Amino acid sequence: MKTEIIKWSAILLLVSTVVSVEAQTADELLQLGTHEIQGTARFTGLGGAFNALGGDFGSLSTNPAGIATYRSSEFVITPALTLNNATAKFRGESLSDNRTRFGLANLGYVATYLTRKSEGLVSVNFGIGYNKAANFYKRTRLRGYDSQNSILDMFTQYANNLKLDQDYLLNDDFQNILPEDWTTAMALYGEMIRYDNDGIYRSNGLDEGDVIDIYSSTLQSGGTEEYTFSFGGNISNRFQFGLTVGLQDLEYINNLNYREEYIGSLEGISDKYISSVRDEYTRTVGFGINAKLGVIYRPIDAFRLGFAIHTPTFFNMEREYQVSMTSLYKTAGEDDSRSEDSPSDIYEYTLTTPYRMEFGLAYIFGKVGLISVDYELVGNPSTRMRDNILDNTDYVDVRNDAIKNSYRNTSNVRLGTEINLPRGLMLRAGFNYFQSPYKDSSLDFARYKYSFGFGYRSKHFFADLAYSLNTGKYHFAPYYVNDYRIRDTDSNPDVAVENLKIGHIIATIGFKF
| pLDDT tens-digit profile, the chain (513 residues) | 333 333 333 333 333 233 333 333 545 666 677 778 889 999 999 999 999 999 999 999 999 999 999 999 999 999 999 998 989 888 888 888 888 889 999 999 999 999 999 899 999 999 999 999 988 888 889 998 988 888 998 899 889 988 899 999 987 778 788 888 899 999 998 889 999 988 899 999 888 889 999 999 999 899 999 999 999 999 999 999 999 999 999 999 999 999 999 998 888 888 899 999 999 999 999 999 999 999 999 999 999 999 999 999 999 999 899 999 999 999 888 889 999 999 998 888 888 999 999 999 999 999 999 999 999 999 999 988 887 665 445 556 766 777 788 889 999 999 999 999 999 999 999 999 999 888 877 667 789 999 999 999 999 999 999 999 999 887 777 776 654 444 444 556 677 888 889 999 999 999 999
Does residue 485 sit within a domain?
A: yes
Return the beta strands (E) in 136-265 as ranges. 138-147, 193-195, 201-203, 212-235, 239-262
Which amino acid does the sequence have at 169? Answer: L
- Quote the number of domains for the chain: 1
What is the number of alpha carbons within 13 Å of residue 439 lying toward its C-beta?
11
Q: What is the C-alpha separation between 476 and 499, in angstroms, rounded?
A: 11
Does residue 214 sit within a domain?
A: yes
| Cα 330 off chain centre by | 41
Domain that holds residue 77: 2-311+331-391+408-433+463-512
Which amino acid does the sequence have at 207? Answer: D
Does residue 320 sit within a domain?
A: no
With contact defined as beta carbons under 8 Å apart, do 450 and 496 qualify? no
Q: What is the C-alpha separation between 397 and 411, in angstroms, rounded?
A: 27
pTM (two decimals): 0.86
Report the pLDDT value the prediction gives residue 493, as an integer from 0 to 100: 66
Torsion of CA 152, 153, 157, 158, to 10 degrees: -40
Phi, psi of 63 (to 5 degrees): -130, 105
Q: What are the distances in angstroms from CA 277 to CA 88, 154, 171, 257, 337?
A: 20, 14, 22, 7, 11
Q: What is the C-alpha separation between 71 and 73, in angstroms, rounded?
A: 7
Q: What is the CATH number of the domain that holds 147?
A: 2.40.160
Report the pLDDT value the prediction gives residue 30, as an integer from 0 to 100: 62
Does residue 279 sit within a domain?
A: yes
| Cα 484 off chain centre by | 23
Does residue 317 sit within a domain?
A: no
Neighbours of 20 (CB within 10 A): 21
Neighbours of 259 (CB within 10 A): 18
Does residue 440 sit within a domain?
A: no
With contact defined as beta carbons under 8 Å apart, do 216 and 258 qualify? yes
With contact defined as beta carbons under 8 Å apart, do 140 and 86 qualify? yes
With contact defined as beta carbons under 8 Å apart, do 454 and 442 qualify? no
Does residue 425 sit within a domain?
A: yes
Report the pLDDT value the prediction gives residue 9, as an integer from 0 to 100: 31
Q: Which helix (H) or strand (E) holds 155?
A: helix 151-162
